[in-house]
Each structure stands twice: as C-alpha cells, then as structure tokens.
C-alpha cells in the first residue's frame, strides 16, 4: 500500500476516534477503558500473526524497548487523552496533538542527533500558530472562569492533553529502536499494546479503581471501533509510515486529524468555531502540505 494512502487512512480513522472516545466516558473509568481497548486490540493482532503462522515470541532485547514504547504510547498517552476528554471537546484534544510536529524533531535531535532543517522548524511554527488560534477563545474563557471562582477544569484537561502529546512523541522515537530489533510491525504492535494495557491495569489496581463492565451498546460500539480501526488498522499504517518516511513527517498526521475532529465536533458536539478557529485550521493544513512537499533537489534526482 502506498505511503499517501496509508497517510490518508490514519488521518481519517484517527480524526474520528477522538469523538469515539467520548462514547466510552461516564460509565467506566477512563483508565479501565484504555485497558479494554488495547487488550482487545492486542488479542486481535496476536491472533492475526498466529493465523499467518508467525512465531509470537520476541527476545528480551526487543521486549525492553516494547515495554517502554507501550508505557509511553498506549499507557501514559491514552490515560491522559481519555481523562482530558472529560473536560474538553474532543476536537480540541485532537488539535493539541499537532504540537507533536514540534516535540518529535526535538526528541530525535536529543536522542539520535538528527539535524533540524529550516523547513521543519518553520512548518512546525506555522502549525503551532494554527493551534494557538484554535484554542485562543477557549483558553481566554477558561481563564475568566477561574478568575471568578470557577473550577478551571478546562485548563486541567488542556494540561493532560499536552502531556498526552509528549508521551506519544516519546513513543514515536521508541518505534525506531523497536524496528531495529524486529521488522514485524503487527507483532511488535501486539506486544507493545499488551505491555501498555498491562501497565494501565496495574495502575487501575494500585489506585483502587474498579473494572466496571459496560452495559450500553454505545460503549461497546465505541470500544470495537477504537480497538479494531483506531488501534489495529490506524497504528499499523502509522508505524509503517514512520519506518518509510520518518517520524518527523509521519507526525503531521497529528495536524490533519484535528481538522477532521473539529468538523465532527461541530456536527456531533455542537462546537461552534469562529473566524479565528477556521484560520487556525487553514494554517495547520498549510503547514502539512509544506512539510510534505518534496525538496526540489530530491525531485530532480528522481
């Protein structure tokens, strides 16, 4: 499957998953929903690998990186994401993930010494400007609420969502170390999700939360969508793209998906963005087109 098609699949699926998460809020604690989602996704991936006759075991040198990746990508990031959506419109949580265009190059520079080119910094700056415009009115309103004795839950959700983006960027860097140990994307995903869900399950037990079984069709529908499409298919496309075009470009999926999420929030959550928010979305998309445009020197060589 071509890289542009993989990019589009991940964008379309993840653009809708932020709203699908809201279908799981209320009846079951957020951390428990994370366990259910990735335990199911992991089981499906293991079953698929077994059906293809693949060995399911991986050596300890690979498992060490998978534990770290699972802890960052499928534990910390998603606990923060699910919890933040108790306080924020899902489209706004998705918007914050555009900041990964800034975190990823910085982490790659810090860990691998990867050079940061001018276009990466400039496009990241445009994307962050777009995010700022999208959030401006909401942050302003939340600050006024706090100043008049409000609870400030919006800002708490904002901080949690920000932590989720950082954890996801750490996970992206670890994908590179995992691929050095195994090039089986589906199997490494299965193990990483298993480790992630296990770590979250341990957190649920230690924190005294209960493993509540959902009773509504809405919850089960959301769980199946998030586990099969949002976790198995979208992450397979995402990790494959990281291997093909690098995490610095793949992370721009996190700039496209917020636009899709905001549009869904308008239709399904009665979110009403103004001119400033629309301008922010245009800037986000423009930054994606810019950073993904091939260099003229590369095109000439081809």
Reported as a single tens digit per residue, the pLDDT across 201-211 is 999 999 999 99
CB atoms under 10 Å from CB of 86, counted, come to 15
What is the predicted pLDDT for the residue at 140? 76
What is the predicted pLDDT for the residue at 294? 63
Q: What is the mean pLDDT of residues 6-16?
A: 90
The helix/strand/coil state of 215 is coil
- 130 in Cβ contact with 287 (< 8 Å): yes
- Domain span including residue 245: 3-301
CA dist 161 and 88 (Å) reads 9
| pTM for the whole structure | 0.82
The CA dihedral of 247, 245, 228, 188, to the nearest 10 degrees, is -70
DSSP secondary structure, 80-99, as one string: HHHHHTTTS-HHHHHHHGGG
Q: Which tens digit of pLDDT belongs to each residue from 257-290?
A: 878 888 888 888 887 878 888 888 788 778 777 7
CA dist 79 and 224 (Å) reads 18
CA end-to-end distance (rounded Å), the chain = 20
DSSP secondary structure, 37-67, as one string: HHHHHHHHHHHHHHHTT------HHHHHHHH
Query: What is the percent of the chain with per-residue pLDDT over 70, rounded to a whole number?
Result: 94
Write down how long the chain is.
302
- 92 in Cβ contact with 214 (< 8 Å): no
| Measured CA angle at 117 (ends 112, 118), to 5 deg | 150
Structural domain count, the chain: 1
- 138 in Cβ contact with 295 (< 8 Å): no
């Amino acid at each position: 499957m071509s890289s542009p098609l993989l990019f589009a699949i991940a964008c379309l699926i993840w653009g809708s998953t932020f709203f699908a998460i809201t279908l799981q809020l209320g009846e079951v604690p957020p951390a428990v929903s994370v366990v259910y989602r990735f335990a199911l996704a992991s089981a499906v991936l293991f079953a698929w690998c077994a059906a293809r006759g693949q060995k399911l075991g991986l050596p300890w040198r690979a498992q060490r990186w998978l534990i770290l990746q699972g802890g960052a990508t499928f534990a910390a990031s998603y606990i923060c994401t699910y919890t933040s959506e108790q306080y924020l419109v899902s489209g706004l949580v998705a918007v914050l993930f555009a900041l990964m265009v800034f975190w990823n190059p910085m982490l790659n520079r810090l860990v691998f010494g990867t050079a940061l080119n001018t276009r990466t910094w400039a496009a990241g700056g445009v994307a962050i400007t777009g995010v700022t415009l999208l959030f401006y009115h909401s942050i302003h309103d939340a600050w006024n609420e706090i100043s008049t004795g409000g609870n400030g839950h919006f800002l708490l959700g904002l901080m949690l969502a920000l932590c989720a983006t950082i954890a996801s960027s750490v996970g992206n860097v670890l994908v590179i170390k995992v691929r050095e140990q195994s090039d089986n994307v589906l199997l490494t995903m299965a193990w990483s999700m298993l480790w992630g869900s296990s770590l979250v399950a341990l957190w649920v037990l230690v924190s005294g939360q209960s493993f509540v079984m959902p009773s509504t069709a809405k919850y089960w529908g959301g769980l199946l969508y998030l586990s099969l499409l949002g976790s198995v298919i979208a992450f397979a496309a995402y990790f494959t793209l990281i291997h093909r075009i690098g995490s610095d470009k793949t992370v721009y999926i996190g700039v496209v998906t917020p636009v899709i999420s905001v549009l869904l929030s308008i239709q399904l959550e009665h979110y009403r963005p103004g001119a400033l928010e629309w301008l922010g979305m245009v800037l986000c998309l423009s930054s994606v087109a810019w950073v993904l445009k091939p260099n003229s020197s590369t095109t000439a060589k081809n």
